[in-house]
Structure 1
């Protein structure tokens, strides 16, 4: 078959493997495949969710492989997308593999299989493009040998990628290293004219464009205006039974997602929170639970969005409006892909604008802060944790800024951290002003969407520059005149209000050890924990961050807040021991010890001492679960022994980040003492 043009019949045979017997390509899908396989073109495909973009690139990849081309490289933004796509590829007889943060222990084997020609499609996350080993050793060979490059969710290449994922901008380096004539496909469901032109400019002026209409005939859009912030969760708890099937409830912040999930759980709904702080293995479990309709909804941030494929998703509700029609359309596009009807409801809040302004303020720092970061970087690698102590930026913002500076050539990520390149860096003030103006315009568009008395779907399509948008949908609340009632059940409202006003936050206990390490199976002896609040909570976060940064504990006002959380804790058995979790940083250990001693004194519990770190232990910086747990297994010195009496142990720490530190230490204490352990933290990062 090498050297022969692919036929539509061949392509349809492959489609049947993906979509089932009798499936045939539409004309526009074949146009894209023909351009890639037979014409070796670069194409930008802008089509609504559910159009079949993944079928196009899988079929094109297989046809190219049959003609002697190398493996296709698909750059996908989210793990959910990768898992769904690998499964779809295997159904069509396409050998697919993925490199991402959840399977780091398998990378060497996968890369060997790619080199040996045993893989048709390699899916990678954009972050891989900036992994030092991958960037220097693997990427050049992939670029030279690949038969097809696919950039999924290609709107991230544009300026919007600055806020979402700076790594997407490194795709230009990959494209520059391609062999002459290598086809490239960029796909997205959400791109207005400005984004389309920006993406085409980066792919090349001769890039073909295939653009279709964005109407979704299954979606029934509505807006429910309820001013009171507590009443909106109560409305949702009251009316959730009227929404068919299972779905997604989007919130604007991690804190809001967890709070809403707790409130809905308290009134009997089976839901779970899913955010950017949710560990990879737990994300996969929750996605599967939603796919299997085992839960009514995932209460999610935008971390659950692009690429999550559940054709029968019955509804998407937003508690709070996203800051742009592009984001909103992207998220509601998850619903109704394989059903006749799906409800899409927006519950805007008066606090939305404040949240938009907050995210805008932290999107990219002002020039003096960036200059400060550049001044502390040297030719010796420094970890993000070390840099965090020298620059006035949170870890997540620091990592984002470093990625931007890396793409701009001012810094470089190497083994062990980050180094300066010595190259001059210019603060592109004009670009950032343009982004700020565009962001403001899109926020105003979302406010107009909430107020409009016209067709809501038509409004969204026109905001996304859908040039086929001419007629009202006939399905939304404004078109039909059927509006959701605003009443709530009084008993439900009272219980939701009680839950939302409860002091502190729940910290879910991890259930399973990650694969590939010395310990296996279920985690035993560790119960659900509590924390005073989340660092990214707009309300409580700043005070908690100040407390952790200062490492200075004063009983007034903190002890009253701690007592309130402990008093509200619905534990099965009250703890009788209090222990402090030791840290490499002595100041952090001293803070934790002060808190533990104060709790023991006020609660009349046994103070069991500090669980010390092992001699020679260093800070564990790995974020991957398997690597992190493996490093933590020998991190504490249990031989020193805690002075425990018979009964549960309250294990006090300052900050719960990934949750693995308290999990490893707590399970170690439980295993050696036979006592249950309950983690308590001053703050949670997620």
Structure 2
């Protein structure tokens, strides 16, 4: 149980000297005019004097980091060991290290981006040369770090801090399995080591869950109002993707200072950044796929106001600190109002006014549905994984598990991490082993989490159309009982941003978004675990390889993606390929810088869309004046949907047959063959078909499809 949430307690007269010391530390950190808030002092006193465990739920910009940095200085002055901070994002770590150095606190980090520095960092910790060590939660799942390094760190720590603590709770909007391991870490801490957890986005349920995980006993919870009086919220509803992008291009200059443009997908971030650069704006794309050095440079450029905006996915959500950030624009609505409030909270921390604009799209819900497919797997899949590990009698790597478990790599890793925390499996050198401990599938809890996610999505849709105060709406979803109408948002003031764009701007955006063509890299390695039954392994032989291919667009695009998602949706009728898609594919072909012009066209066989694929292949052949040499014949039954490379390859290995007349005609064409399909998902159907054509004597195979996933 946690103590009731309460305002800051009045200091004891005997604590005056300690508070003076704390105030001096704060001024070193934040400037001469800084003064501790009462709840900051309450938290610091609880950590330094009472050695308690505390959860601080306060708005972005309130000063949560000041609590643990000041507490660190006070504890270190009294002979305590270094503070260990578990922090989720590299950008956040960089900001925290910079802040610590300003206050004379020696900080270091161990994460996936600085592995070469680890030995030196740990040596500095041992010698007392580090006051604060920041650790990414993923390190907690590394066997060597967990078993050899972490126990020593925990035993000698003066303070343990869990930043962005809502990640601990699977009710939180950004649950991360690695964070679940913290409960074990905290339970094993020696007595008297204080613990601080902080977050800006936790409703009552998440707050209670985190407080319970912090300690079986008494946890001090300090929860304050979440009002952000600098934020001016508005929603602009435009029907088409090109109109939303055009609105951004025509209004970005009028937004104050520099800011962040959030997108739902990596593809959208790159598309929008490219369009804005075409319009003359200094912007950069930023996502989890951006190289670390590029991410660091982009953060610096925005912080130094060299960029008007970063066009970013949620990878920037918790990890960027720029007090004078003047605006946040979302192109596409996040699926959680809590996540939305957390992201917009990055703006307006050091300025009187910051603009917050949401540009929702009709495609948002389909993108939400895609991410919902990454939830915890159903029980039969989990049981299969446990059975495989039980039977192996030795550690199995994730790659070795993939051929035996029908899950993609990232979802399989997530499931194993949860099972590890639950005690059913253990990560060791060489992979994963079964512990043999009984484990039950908490079906009811997973269902409740799924229902909670669905409620959040409905609430996000309600936010878009609400006629009430927007900030009050979001704060009440965070169980902020102090929420009242803000008097600043578009609904409160009646001042709405125009939902119009110029015809020229819409046309420019449409041209950019409808610019066809996505490179498709061929598969170059066979998946592990299929050599015994399929007879292939290692590198795909050069004589079997497809050439780099092309797709019209990505299903996650906000340009062609909307059209392609509808065309290729499950249950969508099969029909002749639309004329505008043919024209776009022709433009893809015209821009294709191949070494040798295609000599013929072959279609892949399709049970679900034979007319679409067949007419696409024939139209390409007709327009290009190439022979259409025929099509593969599909298996009589649909190929089962599989989720990882090994199982997908097995399912498609014999799913397509190349009739001898088609093989002969393709080889007789005397040059590269365009191999046409509606989409590429994993790439294995195209890989097997290309191998078959190459074996028939085709010198090169050029894959051409309408869509790829992302």
TM-score normalised to the size of structure 2?
0.72
* 1:246 alignment partner in structure 2: 258
Counterpart-to-counterpart distance in 2, 1:462 and 1:283:
34
SS at match of 2:210: helix
Q: C-alpha separation between the residues in 1 aligned to 2:393 and 2:567?
A: 35
Q: In the TM superposition, what is the alpha-carbon distance from 1:327 to its structure 2 partner?
A: 0.5
Alignment of 1:253-268 (within 5 A): 253-268=265-280
Matched residue of 2:328: which SS? strand
In structure 1, C-alpha distance between the alignment counterparts of 2:112 and 2:204, rounded to whole Å: 33
Cα-to-partner distance string for 1:567-597 (whole Å, 9 max, x where unaligned): 347xxxx67589xxxxxxxxxxxxxxxxxxx
Bigger Cα Rg? 2
**Alpha carbons 2:173, 2:339 under 8 Å: kept:** no
Matched, 1:61 2:72: yes
Corresponding residue for residue 515 of structure 2: 502
SS state at 1:210 partner: strand
Corresponding residue number in structure 1 for 2:640: none
User: Residue 344 of structure 2: which of 319, 332, 339 is its match?
Assistant: 332
Distance of 1:542 and 1:497 partners within structure 2: 18
Indicate the residue corresponding to 1:567 in structure 2.
590
Instruction: Indicate if the aligned counterparts of 1:163 and 1:363 stay in contact, CA closer than 8 A.
Output: no
2-structure distance, mates of 1:94, 1:576 = 59
Q: Segments of 4+ in structure 1 off by > 6 A?
A: 3-6, 529-532, 535-544, 558-563, 654-657, 680-686
Q: Look up the SS of the partner of 1:164 in the other structure.
A: coil
Distance 1:432 1:498 in 2: 44
* Structure 2 counterparts to residues 621-636 of structure 1, below 5 A: none
State the shift of 1:531 in Å.
7.2
Q: What is the CA distance between 1:258 and its match in structure 2?
A: 2.2
1:543-622 paired onto structure 2 within 5 Å: 564-565=587-588, 567-568=590-591
Match of 2:231 in 1: 219
Q: CA deviation at 1:421?
A: 2.7
Whole-angstrom distance in 1 between the partners of 2:291 and 2:433: 28
- Aligned residues of 1:155 and 1:161 also touching (Cα < 8 A): yes
Counterparts in 2 of 1:506 and 1:233: CA distance versus 1, 3 Å: farther
Q: Mark the CA change 1:432 to 1:460 in structure 2 (over 3 Å): closer, same or farther.
A: same
Q: Deviations over 1:257-291 (max 9, x none)?
A: 22222222233322222112222222111111111
Counterpart CA distance in 2 for 1:541 and 1:138 is: 48
2:105 corresponds in structure 1 to: 94
Describe the SS at the equivalent of 1:465.
coil
Q: 1:267 and 1:231, CA in 2 relative to 1: closer, same or farther beyond 3 A?
A: same
Tell me the C-alpha RMSD between the 2 structures. 3.4
| 1:201 CA drift (Å) | 0.9
1:164 maps to which of 175, 182, 199: 175
Equivalent residue of 2:133, what SS? strand
Give unpaired runs (5+ residues) of structure 2.
1-13, 522-548, 569-580, 598-623, 627-678, 683-702
Measured after TM superposition, the shift of residue 560 of structure 1 is 11
Deviation at 1:127, TM superposition (A): 0.6
Partners of 1:234 and 1:262 in 2: how far apart? 13
Q: 1:639 corresponds to which residue?
A: none
Query: For residues 142 and 280 of structure 1, do their structure 2 counterparts lie closer, same or farther at Cα, with a shift above 3 Å needed?
Result: same
After TM superposition, the structure 1 = structure 2 runs for residues 343-492 of structure 1, keeping only pairs within 5 Å, are 343-377=355-389, 378-469=392-483, 471-492=484-505
Alignment: residue pair count? 556
1:48-99 CA distance string (max 9 Å, x none): 0000110110110111011111111001110011000001101111010001
Q: CA deviation at 1:21?
A: 2.3
Alignment check: 8 A CA contact 1:250 1:299 kept: yes
Report the secondary structure of 2:432's partner residue. strand
Partner residue in 1 for 2:18: 7
Kindly provide the CA deviation profile for residues 604-647 of structure 1, in whole angstroms up to 9, marking residues without a partner as x. 9xxxxxxxxxxxxxxxxxxxxxxxxxxxxxxxxxxxxxxxxxxx
Identify unmatched segments of 5+ residues in structure 1.
509-528, 545-557, 579-601, 605-653, 658-679
* Residue-by-residue CA offset, 1:212-242 (whole Å, 9 max, x unaligned): 1111111000011112232111211121111
1:158-212 CA-to-partner distances (Å, cap 9, x unmatched) read 1145963110110011101211021110111111111111111111241011111
CA contact (8 A) 2:80 2:158 kept: yes
Q: Secondary structure at the match of 2:406?
A: coil
Q: CA deviation at 1:390?
A: 3.7
Could you tell me the TM-score, scaled by structure 1's length?
Answer: 0.75
Tell whether 2:143 aligns with 1:129.
no
The 5 A counterparts of 1:23-38 are 23-38=34-49
The change in CA–CA distance for 1:562 and 1:493 in structure 2 (over 3 A counts) is: closer
Cα separation, 2, equivalents of 1:379 and 1:566: 52
Secondary structure (helix, strand or coil) at the match of 2:181 reads helix
Residues 566/138 of structure 1: CA separation in 2 closer, same or farther (3 Å cut): farther
Q: Is the 8 A contact 2:172 2:206 kept in 1?
A: no
Q: Once the 2 structures are TM-superposed, how far is the Cα of residue 251 of structure 1 from its aligned partner?
A: 1.3
Shift of 1:456: 0.8
